[in-house]
Amino acid sequence: MSQQAQPLDVERLREDFPILDREFDGTRLVYLDNAATSQTPEPVIEAIADYYREYNANVHRGIHQLSQEASVAYEEAHDRVAEFIGADGREEIIFTKNTTESMNLVAYAWGLNELGPGDEVVLTEMEHHASLVTWQQIAKRTGADCKYIPITDEGRLDMDAARELITDDTEMVSAVHVSNTLGCINPVGELADVAHDHDAYMFVDAAQSVPNRPVDVEDLDADFLAFSGHKMCGPTGIGVLYGKRHVLEAMEPYLYGGEMIRKVTFEDSTWNELPWKFEAGTPLISQGIALAAACDYLDDLGMENVERHEAELAEYAHDRLTEHGDVEVYGPPGDDRGGLVAFNLDGVHAHDLSSILNDSAVAIRAGDHCTQPLHDVLGATASARASFYLYNTHKEVDRLVEAIDDARQLFA
């Protein structure tokens, strides 16, 4: 990774994403739905194609050449992802389908066995449903309680409240690193310190941070951290669960079957070594290999550079959207947020706004963004969300604002 942020050569790297050249009724696409899923560059697509063209085989189950090549590439993908987030090695990297499955893996493999009446799980009001619903339902099954750290009027995490809510009864603190609605960047390292002071574990939902900024799990001191490949130039169907090795070793498997076993008899079974203990059945081979290629692609750009580019676009979008007094932007100021802006235009439902923008070939998100309880706190049934990535430009933000002006006139 580069040591100092440098401007991205956006026009050149856009060439790696042919989908950005698509036109609708003669108007070029402006893709601003990157918090939902990013686009995939040619080197990553080629990594998938090369696997199926050249060495498509199951891993760890054959001594023939194709299986050996696939096994090496798949194992090295774990190594590459570990390096990308600063993990200690492949043993701490488990491939899942997505962030949601990573959350569920820990909730079922650890939570069902360790939580009970009187225990507490501390979450935030801005949690994605992948975290909130998962821990909520595990708490119902185990008799544990869920508590929620509130947000401030500015849309930040209330750390004073967090220190009061996290007690010796707390067993798990689970918090989103960057809110997919507010755009705020939470001090998850500080939360981890508070959690560990009370002998609790820290789970970081990094779905909106690992793709967009340098993340080092050792610096954060996270016990668990999860993210998805499809938000970071990788393919769909691949997620990552990072866990500290000693914690993962103490956990029971989440899924049973082939690959995750060491010895099986009619009476009992023993488990494979990490990370294969948690990767039952035929794993996500091509997806994992492609995710490693996505890590290479992002590291070549420099994650500091990606973070800087997104921050500039988010600040510019915040400033442009708030030029008129009829747009409410949720979350912190424009110079202190991740690369997304959720907002509402007075008198226009977010779904209607998204439809009007689509007529101008501007793709955004509309709805509750899997944060229904947070929208209840905000007093909004839904919001529109523009989210940026390494290939977006200031001119595309201008296109967004122009399309919103059209909606403003239409509903005047």
DSSP state of 171: E
Please report, for the domain that includes residue 390, its CATH number: 3.90.1150.10
Structure tokens at 134: 């998962």
**What mean pLDDT value characterizes the chain?**
97
What's residue 412's pLDDT? 74
CA dihedral 205, 38, 44, 395 (to 10 degrees): -130
Closest CA to 243 of 272, 211, 269, 278: 278
* 265 lies in the same domain as 314: no
Task: Please check whether residue 146 lies inside any domain of the structure.
Answer: yes
Residue 191 maps to which CATH number?
3.40.640.10
Segment 272-294 shows an average pLDDT of: 97
Measured CA to CA, the distance from residue 229 to residue 324 in angstroms comes to: 37
Each residue of 297-322: pLDDT tens digit? 999 999 999 999 999 999 999 999 99
Residues 220 and 174 in one domain: yes
Planar angle of CA 122, 124, 127, nearest 5 degrees? 115
Give the H or E element holding residue 74: helix 65-85
Does residue 289 sit in the same domain as residue 331?
no
Residue that terminates a domain, selected from 300, 326, 348: 300
Question: What is the arithmetic mean of pLDDT over 128-133?
Answer: 98
Percentage of residues in the chain having pLDDT higher than 90: 97
pLDDT digit string (tens) for 61-92?
779 999 999 999 999 999 999 999 999 999 99
| Judgement on whether residues 189 and 263 belong to the same structural domain of the protein | yes
The Cβ of residue 299 has, within 10 Å, a number of other Cβ atoms equal to 15
Work out the pLDDT band at 120, boundaries 50, 70, 90.
very high
| Listed residues 265, 281, 300: the one ending a domain | 300
Residues 6+ apart with CB under 8 A from 322: 329, 334
Confirm whether 143 is domain-assigned: yes
For residue 166, the Cα-to-chain-centroid distance in whole angstroms is 24
Residues whose CB is less than 8 angstroms from the CB of residue 200 and which lie 6 or more positions away in sequence, other chains included: 122, 166, 170, 171, 172, 173
Q: Are both 67 and 137 inside the same structural domain?
A: yes
Cis peptide before 373 (omega within 30 of 0): no
Catalytic residues: 370
3 domain-assigned: no
Tally of structural domains, the chain = 2
Q: How confident is the model at residue 411 (pLDDT cuts 50, 70, 90)?
A: confident
Q: Give the integer Cα–Cα distance in Å for 210 and 229.
A: 10
Distance CA 142, CA 119 (A): 9
- How long is the chain? 412
In the beta sheet, which residues pair with residue 387? 33, 340
Evaluate whether residue 68 is within a structural domain. yes
Q: How far is CA 148 from CA 145, 166, 170, in A?
A: 10, 10, 12
Same structural domain for residues 54 and 182?
A: yes
Question: Which of 300, 319, 352 represents a domain boundary (last residue)?
Answer: 300
**Residues 241, 223: contact at Cβ < 8 Å?**
no
What is the structure's pLDDT at 4? 63
Using CA atoms, how far apart are residues 389 and 339, in angstroms rounded to an integer?
7
**Same domain for 264 and 364?**
no
- Return d(Cα 76, Cα 86) in angstroms, integer: 15
Q: Percentage of residues in the chain with pLDDT exceeding 70?
A: 99
CB-count burial class (<10 Å; 0-12, 13-18, 19+) for 400: buried
Query: What does the pLDDT look like over 172-201, one tens digit per residue?
Result: 999 999 999 999 999 999 999 999 999 999
Q: How would residue 2 be classed by pLDDT, with cut points 50, 70 and 90?
A: very low
Strands 23-24 and 27-28: antiparallel
256 with 341, same domain: the answer is no
Provide the residue range defining the domain that includes 82: 45-300
Whether residue 193 sits in one domain with residue 53: yes
Q: Which amino acid is at 188?
A: V
Q: Which of 366, 357, 368, 365 is nearest to 396 (CA)?
A: 357
For residues 93 and 239, membership in a common domain is answered with yes
388 domain residue, yes or no: yes
Rounded Cα–Cα distance for residues 14 and 395 (Å): 14
> Does residue 375 sit within a domain?
yes
**Do residues 222 and 65 make contact, with C-beta atoms less than 8 angstroms apart?**
no
Do 345 and 281 belong to one domain? no
**Is the predicted pLDDT of residue 6 greater than 90, yes or no?**
no
Which helix (DSSP H) or strand (DSSP E) does residue 24 occupy? strand 23-24
Instruction: Give 175's DSSP letter.
Output: E
Residues 30, 151, single domain; the answer is: no
Q: State the average pLDDT over residues 122-129.
A: 98
In a domain, 261, yes or no: yes
Residue 2 lies in a domain: no
Picking from 170, 219, 242, the residue whose alpha carbon sits closest to that of residue 199 is: 170
Annotate 270-298 with b (16+ C-beta within 10 A) or e (fewer).
ebbebbbbbbbeebbbbbbbbbbbbbebb
pLDDT, one tens digit per residue, over 230-273 is: 999 999 999 999 999 999 999 999 999 999 999 999 999 999 99
Q: Is 221 helix (H, G, I), strand (E, B) or coil?
A: coil
Using a CB cutoff of 8 Å and minimum separation of 24, what contacts does 19-23 make?
20/391, 23/361
